[in-house]
Structure 1
Amino acid sequence: MVVFNYGGNVGANVMHHQREKSSSAQTYENILDHLSDELKLLSLKLLRELRRQQKTNAKECNDTKGLFISEGEILSLLNFQTRGIPVAEDDAEEESFGRSIANAAGDIADKLAGSREISEQFPIRKLKRIFGLSSFELDVLIMAIAPEIDRKYERIYAYFNDDLTKKSPTISLALDILTSNRNERVSGLRSFSPGAPLIHFDLVHFTDAPENSPLLTRGIVLNERIRRYILGDNGLHACLSEIAQLSYIEGFPQNDNVQADIQEKVLRLLTDAAEQERKRLVFWLHGKAHEEKMATVMSLCQNVRLPLLTADLEDIFFSADQRSVVQNLFLEAVLQSAAIFLSNGDLLSGEDEKSRILKRVLLRTIDEMSWITFISADTLWIPDDAGKEFRWYPLELKLPGYHERKRIWTDILEGSAISAEDIAGLSGRFNFNGNKIKNTVLYARQSLNGKELTIQDVYNACRIQSNQRISIYARKVTPYYTWTDIVLPEDKLRQLKEICSYIRHKHIVYFAWGFDKKMALGRGLNILFSGPSGTGKTMAADIIAHEFNLDMYKIDLSSIVSKYIGETEKNLERIFKETSSGNMVLFFDEADALFGKRSEVKDAHDRYANIEINYLLQKMEEHEGIVILATNLSKNMDDAFLRRMHFTVEFPFPDEKQRELIWKKIFPDSAPLSPDIDFPFLSSKLRLAGGNIRNIALTSAFLAAEESSDIEMRHIILAVKREMQKMGKLCVKGDFGKYYELIEREAKSE
């Protein structure tokens, strides 16, 4: 059974326990003084072993012992290190060595006791306390660190190993110099078994011998991180440098994101654990309040004077050796007496093989090495074996609700000309936490240049607060279309105006009238735009975003749908996570990439395709912002899907009257149009969608510019030909009538 005592030092911080200083005159000022005495004691033990071997081998002649390292050289090295320690050279030599070793060990113990407050923080002493090391195991660490302090020990060990290339102490040598009888030797040998602290926690490993060689011949080498730690180097393990960060939190500024009730609850649990000597506390922080979680944990660590080691479980998930990274992460926390904060905890509840491995490795390591671990996740999860060896505390952290957001906006905007109605609109439309609200107003005021703050300034600042990481998965579109640009049947325009009314009055209906208490989910706005390509779906989304000073992010669903099972859901999860503040319009274009695969479940691929659709619908329900789906396949939508939509708008193919309006609106007022443009002909004879008409108008403008002329009917007809060629359609005389000769003339010139 491995004894692990990580909590002792941390518990002392929580309890603010102050140790009394010893009145002894013999003290250690620093770690080097202590290590120096330990090496003198080690040299005395090695000298005793050398004298034993000299007596045993007195009758043997071995001039090549240690590959020409002579006994005289070793005696010289060891005698120099032990100078001043009395050792008899008569028949009582063994007893004399014993007394000298006991005296040296006693002096070290006295000095450690005399400087307890300092010496308890010496790395070598902390390792003993943390991992429950025996005196023998502690001496093994000192043997292993000796060559790092003085290279002469490499030659000394090589002599005892009878091989100049073997410069590390062996298990056999450790047993020879550190034990005095058979029982101690057997007990010492157990210290190198897989379950013993030295090996189990990877404090040392074996070298210098093949794996199938006798255990006694194997060399003992310190773990690289343990070696640096003993010598006072606090840098992270090499494998953690890219995925973890250690913070010594001092002077943490007051932060509105700190949730004081959660902090007090955790502090109370930590205090109880320290008083009752309970170890291994895990706090599962679930909910969407990601910034609040980190701020609360950082404030807590400052209060109890703990460093904080942070890492992302996603980085560990994709690492080549999860076990090694997790073990080194928790070892680092142990060495630094730090709490651990892990983000993306939802990976632990996954059903794929890598998630199951990560869960198994992490929970086992928590069970063995953790004291305080915080895991951040969106959803509640409790492992089956929680509570056996560690305490699992799920705590929900929530984003500030409407009324709290309104209070913060009101306090910060006090004295400005922003009306109470506008503040209510901001509170309902933007799901910001306290810090983000402060930063938004600060940014808005910085750009005033002496002018009075307006609601438009605040809205512009809110747009700046959009999460920039969403650009990895989506393309930002700056809205500029207005209601005068779109041509639709009157009933479809009314539907779009109703959508805007929903957005404009959301805070009244949900929060002032109390509908938010009737709906656990679905406080966002989910819209389905369906219809043929080019009929105005993207323009309508643009108009809605422009109406409310919101940015629009266009996401092509075909680009995030993956052939690998589970990857599509992960891509969708990242998108909704990065847009949880709700201060943008999410426009999912090409939704056919998902809905085109929706079908009866005939095989595994059909099942997973439907899972992807259901996952998207689930995230849309949880989202509190505006989500618009655009698809050409409205016929494929079932009732269960449509129930999740607040609005569905069918965009019809434009009729002749609507096409004429589109033709007339598509050209800017400043464009030089020739009087010969026949709009009635274009709208009656050419059955084209608005998107095609836009392309034709732009192409005709470039043709006219090339000739330095006005935009004439011939330019438009030639542009129509190019567009129809792109669509794979033929230009027939019946469609173009009297203008067909323009096409023939252009064809002859080619």
Structure 2
Amino acid sequence: MAVDVIREGREEREGGQAAFADSQSHLLAGLAVADLRIKWAVARARASGLNPQDEFRGLYISDDQITELLGYDIGQHLWSANGHRPNGYGANGNGVHWPELIANARANWQAQTRAAREAGVIMRLDEMVQVFGLTLEEVEAFLLTLAPEIDPRYAQIYAYLQDDVTRKRPSVDLLLNLLTDNFGDKLQRRRLFGDNGRLLQTRLLQREGEKEFLAQTVRPYPHLIEYLLDDDQLDPRLDGLAYLLPATNTAVHRVAPDFVARLTQVIAAEASHPPFFAFYGGYGSGRRETALRLAEFCGQPLLTANLAAIVAQEDERDELLRRVLRDGRLTNATLYLTHWQAL
């Protein structure tokens, strides 16, 4: 069973508490929790009579289907409990009690995450959660969108659950149904995928496609998948506008060493409130060199963004700036904004 993944890739600590060994083990265990939600949805769909053998599924709506839909309570759907089966069970109301299984797996994942964090294990997904202040339900929503990007099986399963072979990525409606089988909770969770929701505001998720909110497809930005797999990349939309340089031991040639030393003293003194520096000077005056040296002092990469080039993209300016800030936070970079006078 997929929940077994949670027990893999971990190390035992004193007292028997488990900790993930690495970032990938943590990510896969989180996906295993999402996998349980998906399995529960399939169990509900099958128990409700969703027939994958019907060659005309999704192509027409029969009178019998309309009659069945009219019998549903408000907010119910083809594979919801609809008040006719004990809540939380699969076919015929027996077998696995899915909500309890999911809650236990989620609690185990959280406990192992805390243990790994205390052990100093770097976990990319956990870092993203901490940086953007994501709640547990936001993390689960993100993982459900991530699943088909990691494992193509889920693309087929999502098409099955959405009764449409062409819909291999989750819609807002499917994600809500995966997160809860309670209509009141579903209404409350709509905000997760709204324009003001944290997942979209921080540009971790994007909505695509149809005009109707519930029908829109939700997916993570592609380069975030590589980030979670330990490959630092900037958003492809920032190509030619921004670039990332690793922290290096930069020799100071164009500026006085004592000047750089004074700047680092300011940073050290204001550690809880990192300062902003505005550099003036022409080409060759050492502005970039100084920025690199300060990034090195902070133990951070340097994310350089050309604000003049970004502002020139009038229709996309705000969106591009959001993406620069998101990638800067993800990579824990020192931001170096050139041509800032353009603002």
**Residue of structure 2 in register with 1:548 after alignment:** none
- Spell out, residue by residue over 1:685-736, the C-alpha distance to the aligned partner (whole angstroms, 9 max, x if none): xxxxxxxxxxxxxxxxxxxxxxxxxxxxxxxxxxxxxxxxxxxxxxxxxxxx
Give the secondary structure class of the aligned counterpart of 1:35: helix
What amino acid sits opposite 1:324 in the alignment? E
Give the secondary structure class of the aligned counterpart of 1:310: strand
**Residue of structure 1 in register with 2:152 after alignment:** 151
Aligned pair in 2 of structure 1 residues 258, 340: CA closer, same or farther (>3 Å)?
farther
Aligned pair in 2 of structure 1 residues 337, 40: CA closer, same or farther (>3 Å)?
same
Q: What does 1:352-367 correspond to in 2, within 5 Å?
A: none
Q: What does 1:394-413 correspond to in 2, within 5 Å?
A: none
Q: What does 1:444-463 correspond to in 2, within 5 Å?
A: none
* Separation of aligned partners in 1, 2:271 and 2:188: 33
Following superposition, the deviation at residue 183 of structure 1 comes to: 4.8
**Residue of structure 2 in register with 1:333 after alignment:** 328
* Separation of aligned partners in 2, 1:22 and 1:183: 41
Q: Does 1:63 align with 2:57?
A: no
* Separation of aligned partners in 2, 1:336 and 1:170: 29
Calculate the aligned-residue CA RMSD, in Å.
3.2
Give the secondary structure class of the aligned counterpart of 2:122: coil
Q: What does 1:589-600 correspond to in 2, within 5 Å?
A: none
Aligned pair in 2 of structure 1 residues 284, 22: CA closer, same or farther (>3 Å)?
farther
Following superposition, the deviation at residue 301 of structure 1 comes to: 1.6
Following superposition, the deviation at residue 158 of structure 1 comes to: 0.1
* Separation of aligned partners in 1, 2:22 and 2:319: 32
What amino acid sits opposite 2:131 in the alignment? I
**Residue of structure 2 in register with 1:54 after alignment:** 46
Contact 1:66 1:164 in 2 (8 A): no
**Residue of structure 2 in register with 1:299 after alignment:** 293
Aligned pair in 2 of structure 1 residues 108, 61: CA closer, same or farther (>3 Å)?
closer
Aligned pair in 2 of structure 1 residues 141, 107: CA closer, same or farther (>3 Å)?
same
Q: What does 1:173-192 correspond to in 2, within 5 Å?
A: 173-179=174-180, 181-192=182-193
Contact 2:203 2:323 in 1 (8 A): no
What amino acid sits opposite 1:272 in the alignment? E
* Separation of aligned partners in 1, 2:210 and 2:48: 29
Listed as ranges, the gaps of 5+ residues in structure 2 are 1-11, 60-88
**Residue of structure 2 in register with 1:244 after alignment:** 242
* Separation of aligned partners in 2, 1:127 and 1:64: 43
What amino acid sits opposite 1:245 in the alignment? Y
Give the secondary structure class of the aligned counterpart of 1:332: helix
**Residue of structure 2 in register with 1:517 after alignment:** none
Q: Determine which structure has greater relative contact order: mean sequence separation of CA pairs < 8 Å that are 6+ residues apart, divided by chain length.
A: 2
**Residue of structure 2 in register with 1:581 after alignment:** none
Match of 2:302 among 279, 301, 308: 308
**Residue of structure 1 in register with 2:132 after alignment:** 131
- Spell out, residue by residue over 1:45-70, the C-alpha distance to the aligned partner (whole angstroms, 9 max, x if none): 12222222333448x998348669xx
Give the secondary structure class of the aligned counterpart of 1:191: helix
* Separation of aligned partners in 1, 2:269 and 2:190: 39
TM, length-normalised to structure 2? 0.75
**Residue of structure 2 in register with 1:216 after alignment:** 214
- Spell out, residue by residue over 1:652-677, the C-alpha distance to the aligned partner (whole angstroms, 9 max, x if none): xxxxxxxxxxxxxxxxxxxxxxxxxx
Following superposition, the deviation at residue 107 of structure 1 comes to: 2.2
* Separation of aligned partners in 2, 1:304 and 1:251: 12
Following superposition, the deviation at residue 259 of structure 1 comes to: 4.9
Aligned pair in 2 of structure 1 residues 55, 330: CA closer, same or farther (>3 Å)?
same
What amino acid sits opposite 1:40 in the alignment? A
Aligned pair in 2 of structure 1 residues 335, 118: CA closer, same or farther (>3 Å)?
farther
TM, length-normalised to structure 1? 0.37
Contact 2:22 2:122 in 1 (8 A): no
Structure 1 or 2, whichever has the larger Rg, is: 1
Give the secondary structure class of the aligned counterpart of 1:285: coil
Aligned pair in 2 of structure 1 residues 188, 302: CA closer, same or farther (>3 Å)?
same
- Spell out, residue by residue over 1:441-478, the C-alpha distance to the aligned partner (whole angstroms, 9 max, x if none): xxxxxxxxxxxxxxxxxxxxxxxxxxxxxxxxxxxxxx
Contact 1:22 1:116 in 2 (8 A): no
* Separation of aligned partners in 1, 2:215 and 2:241: 37
* Separation of aligned partners in 1, 2:92 and 2:196: 43
Q: Percent identity?
A: 21
**Residue of structure 1 in register with 2:114 after alignment:** 113
* Separation of aligned partners in 1, 2:161 and 2:90: 23
**Residue of structure 2 in register with 1:737 after alignment:** none
* Separation of aligned partners in 2, 1:27 and 1:271: 35
Contact 1:312 1:344 in 2 (8 A): yes
Following superposition, the deviation at residue 32 of structure 1 comes to: 2.6
Contact 1:206 1:221 in 2 (8 A): yes
* Separation of aligned partners in 1, 2:299 and 2:289: 15
Give the secondary structure class of the aligned counterpart of 2:168: coil
